[in-house]
Amino acid sequence: MRRVVIAVVVVVAVVSAVVFGARAWLGSDDPRARLERALAQTLHRDVIIEGLEVDGSRVALTGVTIGNPEGIAGAPLLIAPRIDLEVALEDLLDDEVSGVVRAEAVDLRIVKQNGVTNLLGPLKRGTGEHPLDLHVDLAIVASRLLLEDLDRGQSLALEGVGVRALLSNRDGSRTADATVTVDEVGLHGIPLRDVELHAKATDDRVEIDRLDGTLGRAGKVHGTGELFLQGERGWSFVVSASDVDLDGDVRPLVAALYPPLTATADATAAQGKLAADVELSGTGLHWEEIRPTLQGRGTLTLTDVTLPERSLLLDLAALAGRAPGPFTLSRGTVDAKVGSGWVELVRVTADTDAIPVPVTGRVSLQGELDLRVDLLPLVRVFGGGPYREVGKVAASIPVRVRGTVEHPEIAPPTASDVSRSLVGGALRRALADDD
């Protein structure tokens, strides 16, 4: 029995000595430098680790900096005050990082220069003296993301960013699946909050197969997209929105896309719900750079919209004889194309028993109006006002709308417009009589 006890004590002592020796070795400067070299060979860039601490199966790296690949200037890809790893000690000794990695308050800088980004290179299996095998579940919270396009001189900083990703270079893989969360992103002055997206990154693009967020107060946004990391190609998205409050932060955008609401963009009395389906593509990070490259198409739908006075539609209705006062639009839609700095109105409708919306034309992405309205349908609904008699015999009553979204300028039909319309009406009646 005594021999058995002695044997157990010896085994425990040997195991303890091995574990203590491993931890002592890991706590020395040698493994820190070795891990730096292995990571640098794996990521193809400079890596700095100021300190390495071991506590059981937990390894803490402090003062971590991951630099840029050759040819990329400026601040490094990543700066982290502390990175915690839950990994097996034997794996780390065998130049493997397999487990869970967590970091907080990270500065992450993704930069594009000369048509390539500083993301190129990571995850490739190293070929040096100590190649590193990576297979980690990465979690980054409460961090800052800086996007820079040095070729265009543009940058965009996002605060409150979180990343959850699986990174692996096993089996020759060079892709990374990641879920990214952002507290808030500004879209042309409109806040998209609580953003969460799932993405797959490769050498030349980021494919977003799921995008969710909150638009305005409680509206929901869903979509997919692509970010192109090489060359001149920028980004493209397919997005749908639902249950967006019209009287929230989306008013300026809605007034530009649905001209019947122009001049009420800042009026809190305009209420209702918005839904949209859009396909958009462009380049750049800021609106001034995005605007001339933006192109696409979409459909905007508004329901139960209360139109206050000073909306374009009610101004036109008043010109056609309607008495002053608010109006509720049960449903309105617009099909539009975007390109060359303008939104072209393909079709504008209003599903209501009272008012059609005979608006065509375009609105610039800077808010300039170039619209054409046929007043005749409104004259027939509201009795005509000054155009009562003209409406009885005219083919149309053309009205031009210029100015801006905030200050539309209605140009009533000229005498020549009315004359042509009367001639057209007479021809139409003559053809009807011949039939």
DSSP labels, 401-431:
EEEBSSSEEEEPPPHHHHHHHHHHHHHHHHH
Whole-number pLDDT of residue 7: 28
pTM metric for this prediction: 0.77
Q: What is the DSSP string of 245-262?
A: ETTSTTHHHHHHHSGGGT
The alpha carbon of residue 187 and the mean position of all alpha carbons in its chain are separated, in whole angstroms, by 7
3-state secondary structure of 381: helix
- The residue extents of the domains of the chain are 31-174, 246-435
- Please, which residues have CB within 8 angstroms of residue 159's CB and are 6 or more apart in sequence? 144, 183
- Residue 12 DSSP class: H
Given the DSSP bridges, would you call strands 219-228 and 205-215 parallel, antiparallel or unpaired? antiparallel
Q: pLDDT, tens digit, for every residue of 107-147?
A: 999 888 887 788 765 545 445 455 567 778 889 999 999 98
Whole-number pLDDT of residue 173: 57
- Please, which residues have CB within 8 angstroms of residue 416's CB and are 6 or more apart in sequence? none
User: Closest Cα partner for 227 from 206, 245, 246?
Assistant: 206
Print the SS3 string covering 351-380: CCCCCCCCEEEEEECCCEEEEEEECHHHHH
In the chain, which residues have pLDDT < 50? 1-25, 27, 123, 125-126, 128, 267-268, 427, 429-431
Whole-number pLDDT of residue 243: 92
Q: Are 282 and 233 in contact (CB under 8 A)?
A: no
Whole-number pLDDT of residue 131: 57
Q: Is 352 exposed, middle or buried (0-12, 13-18, 19+ CB in 10 A)?
A: middle
- Residue 385 DSSP class: G
User: Closest Cα partner for 293 from 250, 346, 236, 240?
Assistant: 236
Instruction: Give the integer Cα–Cα distance in Å for 434 and 382.
Output: 31
Whole-number pLDDT of residue 423: 54
- Please, which residues have CB within 8 angstroms of residue 365's CB and are 6 or more apart in sequence? 256, 291, 294, 338, 341, 342, 343
